[in-house]
Amino acid sequence: MNARDLNNLSMAELKQLQKDIAKAIAGFDDRQKSGVLAALEEKAREFGFKLTELFGGGTTTKTRKPSVPKYRNPDDKTATWSGRGRKPLWFSKAIAAGKSPSTMEI
């Protein structure tokens, strides 16, 4: 396709062509990555390893330890807060009422 062919296309056809090109580029990248990954796995096997042994389990998200409660609601002993993140409403109300955070510590 040359420039003269592009000049003969309507706006809708040009936009569709643009979408098709974006898909082709994304597909090309995916195929390239798959090829590289396969080559790396083969190379790791040659040395007696699995790729996950060298680079981890393949997960990119880090897991956090569960937070330990630090404060307890004086009116409802089942409501706790770790001190991380947004303050619960009961904590803010207790502070506004004049209570000290140390009095609500567990």
What are 4-16's pLDDT values in tens digits? 788 899 999 999 9
pLDDT the model gives residue 75: 87
Domain residue limits, the chain:
11-55, 71-104
User: Does residue 87 contact residue 73 with C-beta atoms inside 8 Å?
Assistant: no
| pLDDT of res. 58 | 59
Tens of pLDDT, residues 21-74: 999 998 998 899 999 999 999 999 999 998 888 887 655 567 778 889 999 998
Q: Which residues contact 78 (CB under 8 A, 6 or more apart)?
A: none
Q: What pLDDT is attached to residue 18?
A: 95
pTM of the predicted model as reported, rounded to 2 decimal places: 0.41
**Distances 64 to 3, 8, 11, 53 between C-alpha atoms, Å:** 55, 57, 50, 21
What pLDDT is recorded for position 88?
94
